Structure 1
Amino acid sequence: MNKFVPEIKGTLRNHIIELPKVISDASGIRVFGKRLKSFVFTTDVAVIRNTNADAVIAVYPFTPQPVITQALVLAADVPVFCGVGGGITTGKRVINLALDAEFKGAMGVVLNSPTPNEVLRQVRETIDIPIIITVVSEFEDINARIEAGATILNVSGAKRTAEIVRKIREKYPTFPIIATGGPTEETIKATIEAGANAITYTPPVAADIMGELMINYREKYKEEFPNI
């Protein structure tokens, strides 16, 4: 029997980015007592403040900067998992950024796929918060990642994500897995059924949302002034 969940909305915060409801079918990952099923993939503070995601995964294609980490953590009202490099940014800088992210209040850090295991190991020895390592193929040495200190796998394999998750889950039945769910409820459901514990969701960009609002504003104007 499904439980009835009362829902409360406000007038000003009624217009938010709601993640697909199918994500609630995921088991979730309990981090420091908080059960997280949905991760919104964004660094847009306006989106972060106007979404119903359980957490934020903030990774961006530039060298991570402490001031950005601080802004994201301060803006969010949910846990933030910050990217700290591992691709373009390497070596000791990654370790320092991870420690800084922990000090600034991030619930976890995210390392890119190219991160060497030795760097992963040093990050694990330095910080106490979870380390998410990105995985793009089932042929990666997952066991080496786990032994080096990865806490959670973040599978990002585009159209092959569900297949990659399934292959990993066969070998590691209980290890925490986050995965990109894709653009539809069907692809998200397939990823969950493949074994993902939580889903990352990429929201529409603010410019597209604003564009839709402007269309509605113009249509309303035409209705009020049909002869113009």
Structure 2
Amino acid sequence: MNKKVYVPVVESELRRRSVSMPQVIRNASGIIILNKRIKSLIFSTDIAVIHNSNPDAVMAVYPFTPTLTITQALMSASFVPLFIGVGGGLTSGNRSVYLALQAELLGAYGVVVNAPIKNEVIKDISSSLDIPVVATVVSENDDFEGKANAGAKIFNVSGGKNTIQIVKKVRDIFGEEFPIIATGGKTEESILQTIESGANAITYTPPSSSEIFSAVMKNYREFK
């Protein structure tokens, strides 16, 4: 018999203003990585947001050349597993391999490579690391088999409005066992549709610090 279990909640007065992952993400199967089950990932490099949120993991990918300084800062702010970007577009080749190895030594749970990366570089990274390589895919025409054969252990599907179709195609090719992380969109309905299409875990993009602070300042003005 299934019995609904009451979950007590203990809150902090000073931490009420935090970023909570959409509850619907709990419907995902999750991916067990290094003995931790991960269903929700926050897509952010904002240390303040990361420190005041409740995801299972952090997806820290940014549009600049990856550096060890940024990796160290993000590792210090995150209480949960961190998946860090190590290039694949502008930054690639041996530099990406070195950045990936440094990320592993600092404690990252996985490294994320961008969609343009060559399969040869994925192979070099995967053969150098013990943590998984997460390969970002953005199109139905991506070389899924080539990336998987090169050593990508997880796909990070980020295809905008086409994300669900890409997830379905990956499932058609690899079956239900290949791990898929995917962007879920902004609504609970779109997140659930992404899960139902075959995604095991969902990345959630939180409001920015400026957006959160804008609402705070509005309350302050009204209070005065």
| TM superposition score category, shorter chain reference | over 0.9
SS of structure 1 residue aligned to 2:32: strand
Bigger shift: 133-142 or 21-30? 133-142
Identity %: 54
Give a deviation string over 1:72-93, Cα, whole Å, max 9, x none.
0011111110000011101100
1:76 paired residue among 75, 78, 83 = 78
Which position in structure 2 is the counterpart of 1:116?
118
In structure 1, stretches of 5+ residues that fail to align are 222-228
Q: Is 1:215–2:218 an aligned residue pair?
A: yes
Report the 3-state secondary structure (helix = DSSP H, G, I; strand = E; otherwise coil) of the residue aligned with 1:3: coil
State the alpha-carbon separation in 2 of the partners of residues 136 and 52 from structure 1. 26
Tell me the TM-score normalized by structure 1: 0.95
Output the CA distance in 2 between the equivalents of 1:8 and 1:160.
Answer: 39
Q: Does 1:40 align with 2:22?
A: no
Comparing 134-143 with 36-45, which one deviates more in the overlay? 134-143
Counterpart of 1:178 (choices 154, 162, 181) is 181
CA RMSD of aligned residues (A): 0.9
Distance in 1, matches of 2:168 and 2:9, equals 34
Q: Secondary structure at the match of 2:155?
A: strand
- Of 195-204 and 133-142, the range deviating more from structure 2: 133-142
- Structure 2, unmatched stretches of 5+, are none
Deviation at 1:105, TM superposition (A): 1.0
Return the offset for 1:144.
1.2
How many pairs are equivalent?
A: 221
Q: Does 1:206 align with 2:209?
A: yes
The 1-side partners of 2:185 and 2:20 are apart by 15
Alpha-carbon distance in 1 for matches of 2:169, 2:5:
33
| Distance in 2 (alpha carbons) for counterparts of 1:152 and 1:6 | 34
Aligned counterpart in structure 1 of residue 25 of structure 2, from 23, 26, 29: 23
Larger Rg: 1
Secondary structure of 1:216's aligned partner = helix
